[in-house]
Amino acid sequence: MIDVRALRNDPSAVRAALARRKKPEVLSALDQAIALDEKMRNLTNQRDQIRQEINEVSKSVGQLRRDGANAEAESAMAKSRELGESEKQIASALAEIDAELHELLLRIPNLPHVDAPDGASDADNPLIKGPIGVLDTYPAHKRVPHWETGKELGILDLERATKIAGTMFTMQRGLGATMARALCQLALDTNADSFEEVRPPSLVLTSTLTATGHLPKFADDAFAIERDDLWCIPTAEVPLTSLHAGEILDADLLPLKYMAYTPCYRREAGSAGRDTRGMLRTHEFDKVEILAIAEPTQAAAMLEELVARAERLMQLLELPYRIIEICTGDMGLQHHRSFDIEVYAPGCDMWLEVSSVSWFSDYQARRADIRFKRTGTKGTEIANTLNGSALAVPRVWAAILENHRNEDGTVNIPPALHPYMRGATIIGKR
């Protein structure tokens, strides 16, 4: 969440920054938060004045009794009790306002980076790099959608997946399943030079999902296990961010870098009317996430590194891609600055987002209470968090089938995956 002190010290700057998101409801929520914070401060001052008065009255009671002025002492005690009741009422009001303000701040988005491009929607997202590797024209055999090729080769079984789990679930078989696993292993091995591998829980507490900003706003998009107060993770970003929740880190050890393979679960509650065929949009999928916890001065360079690492995997897989920057109006709740890598799928004739790399400034770390301390200094500072999809399987898998499809209907396996394919270099009919 944003720093409440910024609302007090420079509310106009916060308002100007959030206005760039082009969402009037955000500014309305901000105004409510500023009003609530002012009300809290006024009530806090009243409470402190009453406490001071209670202390003064209490001191006078002893002196009055020593002076034999018992009637005056009793009157002072009555006044003290009356002040005490007023203090309790103010404390109760403060607790209610504090809870209301906290809930409101959880829903107010992060401030965009000054260099984030302005815009109102995804139509305004500027192209940063590419397109790279896109053919001038595509032959007919590469214009076949991956769900048709997958069915013909016996490596994508959507019918039985639906029979088992319902709509928007997929199932890879044979070399299709092997390639899905190989993609994850390639992503892990490519980033193992600098990132510690973690296998976190796939179920997390409400507090863990709240720390990253997925709750409360995106509750409808998550799978909940209400009986146990657990949630299926939408991405490994969620448990990795909370690895150090409530901790004070040594600044000399930053940045900390983690990577994780996990299944990911998303209800996709808002996907009605959007293309959900094949592997394009599913409730469950595998993904390798890379994440960093850094101090603010390291964050910009770390963002560049994460983007470069995600881009490198598209190069290794010989897929046509481009990089776009997310404008302020299309930016996620938690994002300070964000980039997407998209691959072109000729069979779908679509650019598919395969990686989103984001810098969250101190927004998530404040929610999770992740701090760091510099050697020889007093106090602590809030850390910065960043994360990116090193590789999300479904759309990359789909793009491979469409871009590497041969005229005879077989699919060439990218050489980077050969070490993980048990000797297979091409996928033919089973």
Cβ atoms 360, 110 nearer than 8 A: yes
- Residue 95: CA count within 13 A, CB half-sphere: 6
353 in catalytic set: yes
Cβ contact 128:325 at 8 Å: yes
* Among the listed residues 210, 193, 283, the one whose alpha carbon sits nearest the alpha carbon of residue 245: 210
Task: Specify the 3-state DSSP secondary structure of 99.
Answer: helix
Catalytic residue among 266, 322, 366, 405: 266
Q: Assess whether 356 carries a catalytic annotation.
A: yes
Exactly one of 20, 322, 371, 395 is catalytic; name it: 395
* Candidate list 356, 358, 361, 389, residue with the active-site label: 356
Tell me, yes or no, if 358 is annotated catalytic: no
DSSP annotation of 156 reads B
Distance CA 226, CA 66 (A): 62
- Active-site residue, from 65, 107, 281, 312: 281
Out of 148, 268, 295, 353, pick the active-site residue: 353
Catalytic-residue membership of 381:
no
Residue 349 token pair: 């004739």
Residue with tokens 């107010």: 108
Q: How far apart are CA 198 and CA 335, in angstroms?
A: 24
CA distance 393 to 398: 8
CA–CA separation, 417 and 430 (whole Å)? 20
Give CA separation, 171 vs 160, 167, 223, 429, in Å.
8, 12, 19, 17
**Catalytic residue annotation:** 266, 281, 353, 356, 395
